[in-house]
Structure 1
């Protein structure tokens, strides 16, 4: 950038010099033309100039005093030394009859010529202007020549060029320093950011910090850290899912293998049937575990979803209808009571939520129990109560109920302890709350509260959720 700026400055200097050279030549030519005309107008008459020896001697005396100056820059009482480089001459019949300099340099010219031209005298270049005293006289017997040494013009052009060049040459290092300072100041944060990003990997997704952060770079760093946070969360979820799947499937598969080996080695038909039933139950439990693991992975990877108005009562009826065979097998009764209500959300996820709560009640309440789902339509939210008349839970169970892989009663049910953990995540996605209410009337009740208004302000208000399981 510094080199490019320097090139632009040099190019501008070149064009400035060229333009100045042309303009100065035009100014000098104009002055020569005016001088010739003024001299012509100052003559006693248009046809002759008196040759006075006294005037000539006076002019010679002036010029000798001027020549005595020590340098061309020293002014004298008789004029300036530069006058020696300027000539005004009157020609008649090709002969100089009057000149401004005692040494009458005869300008080699064409007597019939009129206008500007160049001539070399004693090795020096002169610029001259020839003006006839009678414009309509074709012979041009009398005419005036005004001439200047080209060195005078070149000196002026050089002075002007240097007066422009020197400040700009001083400007180049100053500009280079300023550019270096600005570039270093603004690119240092980018270099720090590049170094910080290069240190990140799939196993190291910490937030990026920039020591010399800037207003322009801050939004980029914020967005990058948000992305790294999401990647880190996804990586941790993947590790957790892999670990959970390996851990939870290890025991069922070992049991399946043991039952299969027992069945192969069994000689008695009743033992064979028992082993086969155990294999079938193991397959069912493994299938349920896999489905719950996949559901958990799906729910955990959802960050945004499309919300539609859902008829919650219709959805509860559908879920209860799917689980009715399981309740009938346990000789249980199910009932749905309450208000008609709608709620914005994802129908498939809310279906999983209701299925987990009702299925949990069916599996752990015990045989010949009552399971009731109650809907309440309030002005700002909808409440879902899932009540069963099963046994009371211990304080430890109430505290850990929503933790992944926690099973309060391993003798009942064949779950993996993921149902309520999945329920908690789905409720969180819908900006609601879920809790286990204190036991009342010999019943256990789960309460799910879902907000009707899930706008941005409502989401911010319910961003930090609490999932209570206290007695």
Structure 2
């Protein structure tokens, strides 16, 4: 089974960057060493070639035995003086008035007629690869590896005189290593400092994440406020915005749940208490008429409680909807079904109810639209009184599909109209048995559909609820 153990992005990033930087610096050291080696070899090879040419030109001009002997005497004197001064100093690498001690690692040899005539180091055997050889070569002599350059005069008797200038390879390697090491030490000392700087920078750049983690850890059911961090970043901003949006939705859901619980407890308490009282009276009653009245009150209480529960559940559903998914709805057919369901209530009060609607289609939530118009028509039936006339009319123009629910009942006072859509407000509590939720539910459904509702009630005219659905909802 694959492990889903969490890992630290910060640790992985720090380790990866540290290894990458270390590898790059080591690679840089390698290339620096190769470059230093190449440059040193070029410089020293050039020095060998130039020294050999100058020496050949000098010796070829005066190559008599006396002149060579004189040169040798002077040269031996200089080398001897260098050795004496160098041995007398604590540091034998310091330059002297007669030259540098490193000259002892250089050797030159002068050849005539293919024979070694003069060597700066007498005990060293010939380093020449033969009179015909010209140029650079690597030679192993006397247990030492030498880098040599041989040159002869460009004349018909070129092979009569030639010079070999050679240098110990270990001296070259020592210089190359010292140059490379001097650079490497600086980079190796810089590496820990660079790694520490990278760790510090990563910690700094990860601080907003740590701050956000701390802020999220502080959130709970009783604290769902927005998350703020002191230094927001482009990468974290969308995440924080999404979290804040989620927290806002959770806060709203939590508030809806608390409101629903409080509402249900408050609204159900009274009808249940009345039901209990009527039941107790029925148990104690010996009068058939009184018993019948108590049982009738119990049935009415059950009906009111059932309606209240239905309204509470509808309110909870409407409150929980964030956005609707619209579907094609035939408005006229839906209204006919709603009116048909409510006709028995109208007949009980000898009311005349009618529907005037042509075939109209729109986009919306069919269930919520049914709840909307059922509440409006049901309210008209309940509160307009006996023998009233109720009319449902559907019209449309260029901007709206309009549904009008009107009745000929008592005129709704202005003070009632202004508060009609507030939750738990009952404008005619002496007539109806509602909980004051129906109009509030209607307003929420209308808001979800982007529609509007208007209540008009003039003295001597019909009470009218006009719902305007935007023409953009029409399919």
Short-chain TM bin = 0.7 to 0.9
Q: 1:309 aligns with which of 328, 348, 365?
A: 328
The CA deviation at 1:405 is 1.5
Q: How does 1:146-225 map to 2 (within 5 A)?
A: 146-148=166-168, 150-166=170-186, 169-170=189-190, 172-173=192-193, 176-177=196-197, 179=198, 182-225=201-244
CA distance in 2, matches of 1:382, 1:434: 12
Query: Structure 2 vs 1, CA of residues 282 and 27 (structure 1 numbering), >3 Å: closer, same or farther?
Result: same
1:318-397 to structure 2, matched below 5 A, reads: 318-397=337-416
User: Partner of 1:201: helix, strand, or coil?
Assistant: coil
Structure 2 spans left out of the alignment, 5+ residues:
1-12, 58-62, 131-135, 152-161
253 and 432 in structure 1: CA distance in 2 versus 1, 3 angstrom threshold: same
Q: Are the equivalent residues in 1 in contact too, given 2:25–2:187 (CA < 8 A)?
A: no
Change in 2 beyond 3 A, CA 1:119/1:406: farther
CA distance in 1, matches of 2:292, 2:15: 90
Distance in 1, matches of 2:252 and 2:74, equals 105
Q: Call closer, same or farther: CA 1:75–1:353 in 2, change over 3 Å.
A: farther
- 1:169-318 map, 5 Å: 169-170=189-190, 172-173=192-193, 176-177=196-197, 179=198, 182-318=201-337
In structure 1, what is the Cα distance between the partners aligned to 2:51 and 2:438?
112
Q: How do 1:45-194 and structure 2 match up within 5 A?
A: 52-64=68-80, 67=83, 68=85, 72=93, 74=95, 80-89=100-109, 98-99=118-119, 101=120, 103-104=121-122, 106=124, 116=138, 126-129=144-147, 146-148=166-168, 150-166=170-186, 169-170=189-190, 172-173=192-193, 176-177=196-197, 179=198, 182-194=201-213
Q: CA deviation at 1:181?
A: 5.9
Quick one: structure 1 residues 175 and 279, their matched pair in 2 at CA, closer, same or farther if it must change by over 3 Å? Answer: same
The change in CA–CA distance for 1:222 and 1:118 in structure 2 (over 3 A counts) is farther
Maintained 8 Å contact 2:48/2:149: no
Secondary structure of 1:260's aligned partner = helix
Cα drift, residue 400 of structure 1:
1.7
Output the CA distance in 2 between the equivalents of 1:120 and 1:250: 116
Aligned-CA RMSD value: 3.9
- Matched residue of 2:405: which SS? strand
Provide closer, same or farther for how the CA distance between residues 11 and 174 of structure 1 changes in structure 2, counting only shifts above 3 A.
Answer: closer
The whole-number CA distance in structure 2 between the counterparts of 1:303 and 1:12 is 54
Change (3 A) 1:3 1:53: farther
Alignment of 1:30-41 (within 5 A): 35=48
CA spacing shift, 1:409–1:33, aligned 2, 3 Å: closer
Quickly say closer, same or farther: Cα 1:327–1:195, change in 2 above 3 A.
same
CA distance in 2, matches of 1:381, 1:373: 16
Q: Give the Å deviation of 1:278.
A: 1.1
CA deviation map 1:75-97 (0-9, x unaligned): 86x765432222345799xx976
- Checking the alignment, whether the CA contact within 8 Å between 1:24 and 1:153 is kept in structure 2 is no
Alpha carbons of structure 1 residues 159 and 36: separation in structure 2 relative to 1, 3 Å = closer
Write the distance in 2 (CA, Å) between the matches of 1:304 and 1:42. 98
The unaligned stretches of length 5 or more in structure 1 are 134-141, 456-471
Deviations 1:212-249 (A, max 9, x none): 22233222222221111111011000000000011111
Query: Cα deviations across residues 145-188 of structure 1 (Å, max 9, x unaligned)?
Result: 834162442233222332354156347536644x3564354323
Structure 2 length normalisation: TM-score? Answer: 0.78
TM-score by length of 1: 0.79
1:465 corresponds in structure 2 to: none
Q: Distance in 1 between matches of 2:349 and 2:177?
A: 111
State the aligned residue count.
437
Deviations 1:355-400 (A, max 9, x none): 0000000011111100011112111211111101111223332222
Question: Does the aligned pair in 2 maintain the 1:383–1:447 contact within 8 Å?
Answer: yes
